[in-house]
Structure 1
């Protein structure tokens, strides 16, 4: 019995290995470019002259970003909004928290003609 089981297992393993083999898939679909080679080269030259290459490994669009708030201001805003975020993302989606809050002043309703009126 063990010999038959071992033989069956070896046959399964051998057949499973051949199932994974496959040929290379060659895509014969013709490629049509939207730009000429000269246009692409000119675009690349513009990026190089500007010192920016969005396809480069070290491209960092936020390199020149400077924040307008201090770390203390951001921390204070986070602490202030922490309870509201926890309440609105809770089990009842903030229904109990919103019910306890004082209603906000209603937004003014202005009457008039829309810009694109017919």
Structure 2
């Protein structure tokens, strides 16, 4: 019986220690007053026009790309993809592109200061 009680006390103490404290963040107070550029009548007129168009953006049947027509040819899109995939693979890799960006620098655009190089060489 004592063993079970001791075990329960250890578990309780560990749980209480791990719980820690939680602090609530203070709310963000926006002090900038809102100034509308439209009147209430303008907003109601826009809403009425939207409803008259029969477009319900919350509907399952809403398709914003129904009337979309691309101006690019398939070959152009494929060529852009192939040209950019190496850059995308390099910048989204394990090192987040740091090796790619380090190699992409030109030696003329980077000023190098080495450790131990005197700043003021005039004596």
TM-score norm. by structure 1 comes to: 0.42
